[in-house]
Amino acid sequence: FEVRIVPESKLAEEGAVGNCVHVYEGSRENHSHPSFGELALMYSAPRAASIIAQSDGLLWALHRYAFNKVIAEQSSKLEAEKMLKKIDVFKSFSSDSLKELASSLCEAKFSRDDVIINEGDVGDSMYLVLPGGSCKSVRTSKNGSESEVDLKEGGFVGEEVLKGGPENKYQSTVTATNKMTCWTLQKSDAKRVISSLRKEGATNMA
């Protein structure tokens, strides 16, 4: 494909084709897959050039909405890595391992007064509180007294079930205090990454 820039003064001229400044030529044999239009995609800028097909072909197009969604997700995953790094069970993890964990996170939405986890229930996931969310964690001691902790953005609950043990039970009851969204990490995903690290000898976690 040729990229042709048409001077503004000649836009109305019939047959104005501008100056050829580059030629894009794709080739499956040579694994050549050039692209164009990325500046308009990234900066919402007007098109700076016209692209004219010189032969029949097939293009892949990326819509700005999809592009912005991917960028937002990448930013969110970076924040997720920072949050995971603060959790004791993951502090010895490498950057690559944290990225792998972050890619396993799923969103879970809760309404006000929804119970996220119940003390004594067998669990298989931990939860990380996202911006705007808040919840209340209540733990019952052996003498029957209760201790309460308010959790907001960056807080997490349920990490105890990732550490193993015969019962894997939650040690507190956590209730949403407003409409909120959490990231969830399943125990099976954490164990998969931990197992990989053990094989590499990169961690001595239990």
pLDDT tier at 60, thresholds 50, 70, 90:
confident
What is the amino acid identity at position 122? Answer: V
How far is the C-alpha of 178 from the C-alpha of 121, rounded, in Å? 23
Average pLDDT in the 157-168 region? 77
pLDDT tier at 1, thresholds 50, 70, 90:
very low
pLDDT tier at 200, thresholds 50, 70, 90:
low
**Mean pLDDT across the chain:** 78
pTM of the complete model: 0.62
Say what percent of the chain tops pLDDT 70: 72
Q: pLDDT tens digits for 46-55?
A: 777 777 777 7
- Which residue stretches of the chain are H helix? 38-43, 64-85, 95-102, 187-200
Average pLDDT in the 116-140 region? 93
Tokens for 64, please give them: 């700005």
